[in-house]
Each structure stands twice: as structure tokens, then as C-alpha cells.
Structure 1
Amino acid sequence: MKKITYFLICVLSLSLSCTKEDVSSNDNSSGNGNGNGSIDTSANQQATGTSANALLSDTEYNQLIIELAYVEGFSPSNAAVENLIAFLTERTFKPNGISVVTQVIPSQENIELTVNDIIAIEDNYRTQYNSEGTIAVWAFFTNGSSANNTENGVVLGTAYRNTSFVIFEETIHGLSDGTFEPNRSVLESTVILHEIGHLLGLTNLGTALQSDHEDQDHPKHCNVETCLMYFSAETGSGIENLIGANSAPELDAQCIADLQANGGK
């Protein structure tokens, strides 16, 4: 396992498409494929958004560790990882730092993944869990596609537990770096930060609204079209707005106000 620690002060804000699925478990222990045996995992198996304050503030946890698991050939770009750390540094209080560990996991046999498939992969391979002073996040980059894809649109990412999200990296590869397509690292960054936004409780998903900006047609998303948390997953309509862009959209002022009211910056 490779470990990289980032202490960044630069600021990059980003956005885009996803689904959000709440999955929690009452099982308080889990074996995994890395020899850690039976450990308490219950704090990392709660519903999406329930750890928003813990991720944003330093009241309970003053350090954050992100486990990036990926299938060979489908790792996130260095730029996307740096953008993730910069975003979290800008929006959360973690005085003891934000670190990243990476691991390569086997290619997925089931090319269309349900949320239960994704959970099974996490439970088998995840190694980082909450401990004293440290909160852990699992980010999985897969060669599989979402079972929720339709003829009219594809899912690029899903936040499905309080500290877990998946990025459908092969789908992103197919939609980026081509003619009339967005830059891959920009699209990656947009989707990754959108999913992290859901873990931070946006929009109205564990972090309370300070103003009326939830999209009533697409709940748990912001109604400001230029915001990172704007809905666009099912149709992929947001992708065309990224063509030629050098960075992903930023959080709008209302989403930032929500985070600040829940312990963030």
C-alpha cells in the first residue's frame, strides 16, 4: 500500500453528476482481504450525510484519512487527487492534516454494479476506519458501470454511506479527453467533489439549509445551475458545460453558508 500525505494551502473548487443512495448497516465488525481480521466498522456504515459535522469540524476528529482504492488502469489523475485535498483543506477543519493511502484491487467481474455489489467490495478491501482523533473516507474507482445507467444517461458517481463513495472511472474515461469532450481531470474532479459534497451533508443531507436552495425536482441537490452540487447525473447534461473548462464549477455561496453553519469553513 502506498501512502501519500498532502498539506496543501491552495484552493480549487469543483462539481457534477451522481446518484445518492443511503445505505447503513448494523453489523459492527468486518473481515477484509488485507488481513486486519475483525474490527469495528459500524461508525463507517451509517447513512449518507450523518457524519457531515464530524468531517467538517475538529470537534471529534482533527485528522482525515482518505483511502483511494482503484482497479489497475483506472486510478484517478494526480490533478484530481490534489483538487480533492485542496477542496477539503479549504472547507474542513483538520489541523492535524489530511492524508491519502492508495491500494490496487482486482478488476470487477460484474461489469454492472449495484450499490450492494459496491458495498461488498468495500467490506472486502477497505482497511481504513475511524479511530481516535481520525475520521476515514473510502473512495472506490471502478472499471464497472452503474446498474442505474439508462439509455438517456449514465451515473458517474454515487455517495452511498456516511464515509463512502464510488466513482465509475471507466465511464468517465469514455466521456472525456476526446474531441468535443471535457478534460479528464476536470471531469474527474467535478464528480469526486460532488460526491464529497454529499458526504459533507450537501444539499440538505445532514447539513441543514441556511436558505431555500434545494432543487425540488431533484432532491438533495442545489438549484443553482452553476453550483458544484447542481443535479446532472441522470442526463449527463452537465458534461457539455465542462468542455474547454480548466476547472470544475465551484460551490455557490448558499452551499458554503450551509457548511459553515455545520462546523466547516
Structure 2
Amino acid sequence: MKKKIVLYTLIVIAIFIGCSKDSDLLPNENVQIDKSANLLGTGASAADLLANSNYDNLLIEIAYVEGFRPATEAITIFEEFLLARTFKEDITFTYKQLPSPNEESLTLNEVVELEDENRTVYNNGSTLALYIYFADAPTESDDEGAEAVTLGAVYQNTSMIIYESTIRDLVGNSSFVTVSDVEAATLNHELGHLMGLVDLGTPAINDHEDQEAESHCTTEGCLMRAELQFGRSMLKMMQSNASKGLAAIPDLDEECLLDLQSNGGR
């Protein structure tokens, strides 16, 4: 009888230990994520994004409303731009499909709230994290009468929104420019701001900031021209390039490249 009691006791202990080991593998919901390094002003992480001194890995979370996922071609072009302009070589993309917030337009405060609710990646160790949200609604500041529809914006040091529904409406049935072209151009332009252009965390070596459009470039045809942020002006520029046999998506001019290189970029 004593042997049986000992045996039962051992079995109970073994089961308890086994359950304890399994529970150790479960995520601890009480662990607090340090978000502070990702809640800074635009351009504050420019040097970290460009160089590998503090972060040599880049993790990019693509959050998108169902039905508004960006084209694979656009993300490929975006990655190529990152590899060309920064020293980051270990770049990972993750995708997260989200329900629609069911808003006719989005305020900046609403965009920030959506990120707080849905973002899952933050700086960790040697990994710098970016968050990009593809929205199904335009910004509330759009003025279609003035043709000033906004295609994208940055609002924190590692945060970006792309107004995907606006891009799709803008491109329509264009013969020269595709949705993926405009997506890529918008992504690259907004990334330029996160990299500190123009004089937005990356000091300008020479004076080339547009005094009528803060943080944008004065050089004709540059990726950082102000019209690259606003719909119909961007479309006209890209259609003009394509009709001349040039690349539809603009690139950075020499002044912007010089600025990036001085702050740790390629």
C-alpha cells in the first residue's frame, strides 16, 4: 500500500512539473513593451535608419485594411530603395490585415490611435522597427477642389501612413502609371522624411529646402519635391516621366544624396 501511495505521489508530481514547463512557454501578457524609442518626432531616428551603428536589422510591419494590401511590386521597389540609401541589409517585412475603422476620413489623432491599438513591432536590441499603415479612407485635410489630395504622411520617427484608397482613386485608368508605381513613389518619398529629408533630422549640407513647403526639396524632378506628397501633382510628374521614356518613379537629387551620406547613409 505504501508503494502505491508513493507511486501515485510521483505521478502527480511529474504531471505538475510537466504542466509547469508548458506554462513557462506561454507568453507573459503582463510584460510591458518599451515603446518610447518609437514615439519620437519625425526625423529623430534618421541616423539610426541610415547607418548600422546602433541597429543593423530593420523590421517593417505593413498593416493594411482588408482589401487594401499594397502591391508586391511596390514593396519590392521600396526595399530596393532602402538597400540603396541605407546600410541596412537585414530587412524583414511582416503583414497584418486589419478590419476597417469605418471612417469616411481620418484625423491625425485617429491615425495615432489606430497605431497604438494595432502596432506589434517596436525597437528591440539591434533591430529598428518601422510601422506603415495602408488606410481605406483619405485624410480629413484633403481638398479635392484644389487637387490637394494627400497620398501619404509621416507622423512619428518610425511611423507612416499611406492613403491607399486615395492612391487607387487617383490612378484610375491611367495609361502611363500603375497603382504600384504610385504606391512605391509615395513610400519612398515618406521614407525620405523618416531619413531626415529635407533638413528634418538630417542636416542639409547646402541650402535646398523649399521655403514654401517645409522639409521638401527645391530641385526639379527630385523625389523630395512637395508635389510627390500630393496626388494630382505627383501623377502629372510621373506620367510626364513615363511619356518621355524615363522611370516613372523619381529618385533623389544630388543634394539630398549628399545630405544622407553625411548622416551615415549610402
Match of 2:221 among 203, 214, 226: 226
* CA distance in 1 between partners of 2:53 and 2:78 (Å): 22
Whose strand proportion is higher, 1 or 2?
Answer: 1
Structure 2 residue corresponding to 1:168, chosen from 160, 163, 167: 163
Cα shift readout 1:160-195 (whole Å, capped 9, x = no counterpart): 000000000000000114145621111111111100
User: TM-score, with normalisation over the residues of structure 1?
Assistant: 0.83
Higher relative contact order (CA 8 A, sep 6+): 1
Q: Which residue of 127, 132, 153 corresponds with 1:139?
A: 132
CA distance in 1, matches of 2:232, 2:34: 38
1:33-68: CA deviation from partner (whole Å, max 9, x where unpaired): xx7863110110100000000100000000101100
Q: Deviations over 1:16-47 (max 9, x none)?
A: xxxxxxxxxxxxxxxxxxx7863110110100
Corresponding position of 2:62: 68
Residue identity in the other structure for 1:239: L
CA distance, structure 1, for counterparts of residue 92 and residue 261 of structure 2: 22
Structure 1 residues 224, 164: closer, same or farther in 2, change over 3 A? Answer: same
Query: Which structure has the greater CA radius of gyration?
Result: 2
1:182 aligns with 2:169: no
Looking at secondary structure, tell me which structure has more helix per residue. 2
**Partner Cα separation in structure 2 for residue 36 and residue 82 of structure 1:** 37
Q: CA deviation at 1:111?
A: 2.1
| Unaligned 5+ runs, structure 2 | 1-28
CA-based RMSD = 1.6
Q: How far did 1:108 drift?
A: 1.9
% same residue: 40
Structure 1 unaligned spans of 5+ = 1-34
TM-score (norm 2): 0.83
Q: Aligned pair in 2 of structure 1 residues 181, 173: CA closer, same or farther (>3 Å)? A: farther
1:110 and 1:162 mapped to 2: Cα distance?
25
Equivalent positions of 1:1-265 (< 5 A) are 38-95=32-89, 97-150=90-143, 151-152=145-146, 153-179=148-174, 182-232=177-227, 233-234=229-230, 236-243=232-239, 245=242, 246-265=247-266
How far residue 225 of structure 1 moved from its aligned partner, in angstroms, is 2.0
- Counting matched residue pairs gives 230
Letter matched to residue 107 of structure 2:
T
SS for the counterpart of 1:137 is strand
Mapped contact 2:151–2:231 kept (Cα < 8 A)? no
The farther-off stretch of 117-126 and 104-113 is 104-113
